[in-house]
Structure 1
Amino acid sequence: MQKTIKDKIPVTVLTGFLGSGKTTLLNYILRENHGMKIAVIENEFGEIGIDGGLVVGSTEEIFEMTNGCVCCVAEARDDLLRVIRQLLDRPERLDHIIIETSGLADPYPIAQTFFLDDPIRDETNLDGVIALVDVKHVLRHLDDSQIEAHDNQAVDQIVCADRIVLNKVDLAFEDEIAAVSARVASLNETAEQVRSSFAQIDLKKILGLAAFDQSRKIAAEVDDSHDHHHHQAPWLGDASHDHDASVGSVGIELPGHMNPAAMQAWVQEMRAQNLDNLFRMKGIFSVKDDDYCYVLHGVHNEIEFRPNHPWANETRCNKMIFIGRNLDRTALQARLAECLAAA
């Protein structure tokens, strides 16, 4: 029988640009008396791993890979897979796995690891991507024309996130924080923002995200994304620098129940397409003649559709959100509607 989300080990990907406070947050997580057995996989950019020496003493395991960034060097990606498999083979079951990425890492390939047709997919669940943002300095990275001419990792990290931590608020004035918050929201409308100083934050806000009532969460995201239009942020003045207003979200809600065969066929169809501009997909569905709530998660072409938990007393619904660039709401809704089961 296929495992549900409750049977799998949750995995959190911790991302954020250089100096955003990831290691500080990791130290905070490892110090907290949360009663969980956590394994940490570190990815340090460069030949010598530094962050492992900064992590406070604890009983947790620190896996530090110094042969390059896991998302852009094949050996390092293999390293990540190897370490995760080792963790899954341990006799003592882990409660959580945290992957701390390099500040120069694109989190997409790391997130895609947990959609592979592999024992990793069967034993783990991507709990969430957490992005830390240095409110004092992030705007200069987001507006770096040299980085933007290639691929701005600071933007990628924010767009990919399920939750965004505005860190170092003690170093900024309220108007600066508000400006950063608005700019971050323009890149990722659906991710909740939380504030912190010294990366100290209620762990319930960053761990166990998949344990939340997903129907409420996705419903809120779908409602917020309806008829959304991008406006130039007020602090940009007369637009001396052009920002990417093409990134946005599309929320879709359908009545009735879904045809599981049609949904699987659509997933296969999507996997075969070029989805470079479709960053994330998240949805919950009521499948005809099935008591389980089904979830759909996707990062570019890596997509999975599976049963998640019994509906029980929850109201059945079909809600989907797409996050990406230049999305065609009409086409996406029409294609998804084709997967509805006959009444």
Structure 2
Amino acid sequence: MPKLSQEIDSRIPVTVLTGFLGAGKTTLLNHVMTANHGEKIAVIINEYGEVGIDNQLVVGADEEIFEMNNGCICCTVRGDLIRILNELMEAKNGNSHRKQVHFDRVLIETTGLADPAPVAQTFFVDENIAEQYKLDAIVTVVDAKHAEDQLDKGHEAQEQVAFSDVLLVNKVDLISEEELHKLEKRLKIMNPAAKLYRTEQSSVDLKKILGINAFELDKKLELDPDFLNSHEDDHEHDDEVKSIFFREDRPLDLDKMERFLKEWLTEHGADTLRYKGVLHINGVKQRIIFQGVHMLFASAPDRNWKSDEIPRSEFVIIGRNLDEAWFKSQFAACVAS
């Protein structure tokens, strides 16, 4: 544990970015990475699926992205978090076989199914990490459109709100003022100590989420007296939740893909918690980025494919009671003739 001192805290500040599936975490991360804040930020992304997608959706951060896949950051890959943080510091200090890196702070984006409490524990129970890093804040993005249902059904969403220092109520343009007031009242009852800001497209003044020194251990211990004593196997996920990953090097037919999406969302939209990825469409020079939550879907052309990369479609679907065989067969039929 770091010693109390009157000296300036020289540890690297860490912001944990959490929020349920599809709330807008990656959009917020893009705002941070493209903003003119003058800081170098190392980003650690944890994804629930076997193969990562988020690193492809974060702009301007090719060399600063560190992925942890195939597990929840609060469960199977928590050791990876400690390892990566240690490797980052070694590289920063020039004590690594890796290229020296320079960064002023770390931002950790957790999977939408993560309980943030075990992530925060890492910065207190691991002595080496506690001496080098300081947990600055836990920022939770809340999907205003789907929050009520998510809070009713998912204990992960409740934990994310309860342990947050800052709540970003996102997508406020998609609900009425009456619905928004009701949601905010519920959130304040769940976590009266958290700062609450309304956002659209996860756009927020970064001074409200970075360098705010908001994480207070004493308050977290009041919320959960066993905060520093809980074990990794205390956290369990809904067995009905699974991820399906798709990859295809051959170009896709646009009309076929649109029909597949329409049928998928009509038949399985309610069970589809989150989906996102990159599509390689026949005859289109740009990557097509698409993502959505339940029935809400958006897509747009991105940059051109680079000369040194193989154009391919990669995307992930996270949901409950999904028929993987059906999805795989429907997707396979979308390959261009």
Q: Tell me which of the two structures has the higher relative contact order, counting C-alpha pairs closer than 8 angstroms and 6 or more residues apart.
A: 2
Flag whether TM exceeds 0.5 (same fold). Answer: yes
Specify which of 136, 143, 151 is matched with residue 145 of structure 2: 136
Distance across 1 between alignment mates of 2:224 and 2:85: 23
Given the alignment of the two structures, is residue 123 of structure 1 paired with residue 132 of structure 2, yes or no? yes
Aligned to 1:84: 85
Q: CA RMSD in A?
A: 2.5
Residue 38 of structure 1 contacts residue 60 of structure 1 at CA under 8 Å; is this kept in 2? no
Query: Which AA in structure 2 matches 1:37?
Result: K
How many Å apart are 1:58 and its aligned residue? 3.2
2:130 & 2:60 partners in 1: Cα distance?
A: 30
1:182 partner amino acid = K
**Which amino acid in the other structure matches residue 10 of structure 1?**
P
Residue 183 of structure 1 pairs with residue 186 of structure 2: yes
What is the distance in 2 between the residues matched to 1:99 and 1:5? 24
How far 1:66 moved relative to its partner? 1.2
Unaligned runs of 5+ in 2: 94-100, 231-337
Listed one character per residue, the Cα deviations across residues 101-154 of structure 1 (whole Å, up to 9, x for unaligned) are 00000001000000024211001100000001011110001112xx4xxxx000
- The alpha carbon displacement at 1:86 in A equals 1.0
Instruction: Name the aligned partner's letter for residue 119 of structure 1.
Output: N
Matched-pair contact (CA < 8 Å) for 1:37–1:60: no
Alpha carbons 1:17, 1:103 under 8 Å: kept? yes
Q: Unaligned regions of 5+ residues in structure 1, if any?
A: 223-248, 251-274, 282-297, 303-343
Q: Which residue number in structure 2 is paired with residue 112 of structure 1?
A: 121
Matched, 1:51 2:51: no
Give the aligned partner of residue 330 of structure 1.
none
8 A contact 1:127–1:209 mirrored in 2: yes
Aligned to 2:263: none
Q: In the alignment, which residue of structure 2 is the partner of 1:70?
A: 73
Name the structure 2 match of 1:332: none
* Aligned partners of 1:279 and 1:300 also within 8 Å: no
Indicate the SS of the match to 1:157: helix
Deviations 1:142-178 (Å, cap 9, x if unpaired)? 112xx4xxxx000000000011001111111111111
Correspondence 1:268-279 to 2 at 5 A: 278-279=222-223
Residue 38 of structure 1: aligned partner? 41
Give per-residue Cα distances to partners, 1:64-98, cap 9 Å, x unaligned.
1112111121xx11111110001111235521101
Match runs of 1:223-242 below 5 Å: none
Separation (CA, whole Å) in 1 of partners of 2:81 and 2:223 = 22
Aligned partner letter, 2:151:
L
What TM-score, normalized by structure 2, do the two folds share?
Answer: 0.60
Distance 2:150 2:207 in 1: 29
User: Residue deviations 1:198-223, cap 9 Å, x none?
Assistant: 0010000000111x7x9xxx8xxx9x
Aligned to 1:99: 108
Query: Shift in Å at residue 184 of structure 1?
Result: 0.5
Q: Quick one: which amino acid aligns to residue 9 of structure 2?
A: K
Task: Determine what percentage of the aligned residue pairs are the same residue.
Answer: 47
| Correspondence 1:23-34 to 2 at 5 A | 23-34=26-37
TM-score, normalisation: structure 1: 0.59
Q: Kindly tell me the number of residue pairs found equivalent between the two proteins.
A: 218
Moved beyond 4 Å, runs of 4+: 1-5
Letter in 2 for 1:279: L
1:40 match: secondary structure: strand
Instruction: State how far apart, in whole Å, the 2-side matches of 1:128 and 1:42 are.
Output: 16
SS of the equivalent of 1:131 reads strand
CA contact under 8 A between 1:17 and 1:153: conserved in structure 2?
A: yes
- Maintained 8 Å contact 1:20/1:132: yes
Q: 3-state SS of the aligned residue for 2:223?
A: strand
Report deviation, 1:280. 5.3
Residues 18 and 59 of structure 1: CA distance in aligned 2, closer, same or farther (over 3 Å): closer
**2:26 and 2:54 in contact (8 A); partners too:** yes
Distance 1:179 1:132, change over 3 A: same
Query: Which secondary structure does the structure 2 equivalent of 1:39 belong to?
Result: strand
SS at match of 2:118: helix
Within 5 A, what are the aligned runs for 1:149-298? 152-210=155-213, 278-279=222-223
